Amino acid sequence: MSETTEPTIDLKLKASFDFFTTESLRISDLDQNGHVNNLAFLQLFENVRNRFIAGRTPLVRDDERTFMLVHLEADFVGELHYPGTVEAACRIVEVRRSSVVFGQALFDGGRVAATGRAVTVNVDRTQRRAAAFSEAERDMLLKLLNL
């Protein structure tokens, strides 16, 4: 069972998000052209996604359960340059039986630099397989979806 509002969510718009972190660009993030490297964009996505998960979702890592990233995609829209900061954004765009799809973006001021989607699966450590969310967890995730 999947519930989504993805067609109405434009990840290129800051107004589509209510969770942001400010990330510092590092000189080590630069490529040979002097731009922030594509891999650094993905690391910035990872930072904000994990802060969002820890601060807002019922996903946990303990002796019984964990969650794993199983899919990641990115659209590189604009360049980023050192020095500076970027606003990284994250939200839920789809809730599935045992996984969540996160929508993400990087903003340089009002300009979008990248958008992406990440799928994270809830995992039962004992059985080593995907585990369905409880009704309470699912309700919490759906509330986040509808923000």
Q: What Rg value do the Cα atoms of the chain yield, rounded?
A: 16
Quick: pLDDT tens for 115-143. Answer: 999 999 999 999 999 999 999 999 999 99
Task: Determine which helix (DSSP H) or strand (DSSP E) holds 141, and give its type and residue range.
Answer: helix 135-145
SS3 91: strand
**Model pTM score:** 0.91
The pLDDT tens digits for 33-59 are 889 999 999 999 999 999 999 999 999
- Specify the pLDDT at position 42: 97
Domains of the chain listed by start with CATH number: 3-145 (3.10.129.10)
DSSP state of 64: S
Q: Is 109 left (phi over 0), alpha (psi -120 to 50) or beta?
A: left
pLDDT band at 146 (very low <50, low <70, confident <90, very high): confident
